[in-house]
Amino acid sequence: MAGALFPARNTLTDGFGRRISYLRISVTDRCDLRCRYCMAEAMTFLPKSAVLSLEEISALADAFIARGVRKIRLTGGEPLVRRGVPDLARMIGRHLETGALDELTLTTNGTQLDRQAQALYDAGVRRINVSLDSRDPDRFRYITRWGDVEKALEGIAAAKAAGLRIKINMVALKDFNEDEIEPMLRWCAGEGHDLTLIETMPLGAIDEDRVDRYLPLDKVRAALGENLTLTDIPERTGGPARYARVEELGNRIGFITPLTNNFCDGCNRVRITASGRLYMCLGHDDRVDLRAALREGGPAALDAALDQAMALKPLRHRFEIDKRDAAPAVGRHMSVTGG
């Protein structure tokens, strides 16, 4: 479906006056790892029949771009376990050439990058986020349940060689990887990467209690400040991270703090799941079925669904980690909504 099917009209603005300019699209809920803070070991994934086709994903992207979205991120699960993601990137990437889209990015765990990094670059992707919580082989295997850190590092190296700019995403976990945060920051500087730290989020039931692993990032920043000079900078990449320049190393460090420093006032994001559900907030269950609108009603129905979604977008999320054995804020896992 061509972008011309969705003529430009009013931009997407929610009930609180926030303009939606950033769309995250999950191409699959499947992943080749099982990170303990993200998934249970035994997961049930969507049947293929329930997943949007690549052409449908591209059509949804067209509709959002026509309504003012300027940045799109492809996510999962692990997006690169799905065949044809570089082809999808090319479909969406044509909007980069016209100037209708500013950036097309991707979040990955790196395990498939050695085979697909060049194809992503050729499709128009110039920057990626790679999730990497530890460079220690045993710790990496533990947190992912069976992953091989060398595979991820090879993928990162392949992405760098292909010309992709890389930001490492590291979930800060108490009594697990907090001693690796400064070494990771220094490694990133040596490789030419930025680093973003993320607080664990209460999404979906897992096999552990998140209270045991919750590490407030204000404490992490204070610890880093004992050895390094962090200077706040206004630069943003479209998401919720707040950045600082590491003066001694020359790279940037970002902090995503859904628990210690709520960032919802400036939220500019919505997420589409692999099955075509639009979630306006990670911490709420309100959703709009874009697949039904696209398949049954076409462009007009899809446009109306987007208006409905703007009316439903809440002011803020409901993330809290303040008591042991508490139920997650929402029942769905991050892999369902998209990272």
Q: Which residues contact 282 (CB under 8 A, 6 or more apart)?
A: 201, 203, 258, 271, 317, 319, 330, 334, 337
Q: Find out whether 107 is annotated in a ligand binding site.
A: yes
Q: Find out whether 188 is annotated in a ligand binding site.
A: no
User: How many C-beta atoms lie closer than 10 Å to residue 298's C-beta?
Assistant: 13
> Which band of pLDDT confidence, cut at 50, 70 and 90, is reported for residue 327?
very low
pLDDT digit string, tens, across residues 190-203: 999 999 999 987 65
Q: Find out whether 186 is annotated in a ligand binding site.
A: no
Q: Find out whether 264 is annotated in a ligand binding site.
A: yes
Q: Find out whether 281 is annotated in a ligand binding site.
A: yes
pLDDT digit string, tens, across residues 157-176: 999 999 999 999 999 999 99
Q: In the chain, what percentage of residues exceed pLDDT 90? A: 72
Q: Find out whether 49 is annotated in a ligand binding site.
A: no
- Please tell me the distance from the alpha carbon of residue 199 to that of residue 211, in angstroms, as a whole number: 11
For the residues 122-140, what does the mean pLDDT come to? 97
- The three-state secondary structure class of 291 is helix
pLDDT at 43: 85
Largest CA distance in the chain: 58
CATH fold, domain 19-337, is TIM Barrel (3.20.20)
Buried b (16+ CB within 10 A) or exposed e, 217-244: beebbeebeeebebeeeeeebbbbbbbb
- Please tell me the distance from the alpha carbon of residue 339 to that of residue 24, in angstroms, as a whole number: 8
Bridge partner residues of 25 (DSSP): 74, 272
Q: Find out whether 141 is annotated in a ligand binding site.
A: no
Is the pLDDT reported for residue 179 higher than 80?
yes
For the residues 68-85, what does the mean pLDDT come to? 97
Rounded to two decimals, the pTM is 0.88
Q: Find out whether 35 is annotated in a ligand binding site.
A: yes
pLDDT at 197: 97
Q: Find out whether 145 is annotated in a ligand binding site.
A: no
Q: Find out whether 37 is annotated in a ligand binding site.
A: yes
Which residue is associated with the tokens 């499947």?
30
Q: Find out whether 38 is annotated in a ligand binding site.
A: yes
- Please tell me the distance from the alpha carbon of residue 243 to that of residue 253, in angstroms, as a whole number: 6
pLDDT digit string, tens, across residues 232-278: 999 877 678 899 999 999 999 999 987 665 556 778 999 999 999 99
For the residues 5-22, what does the mean pLDDT come to? 80
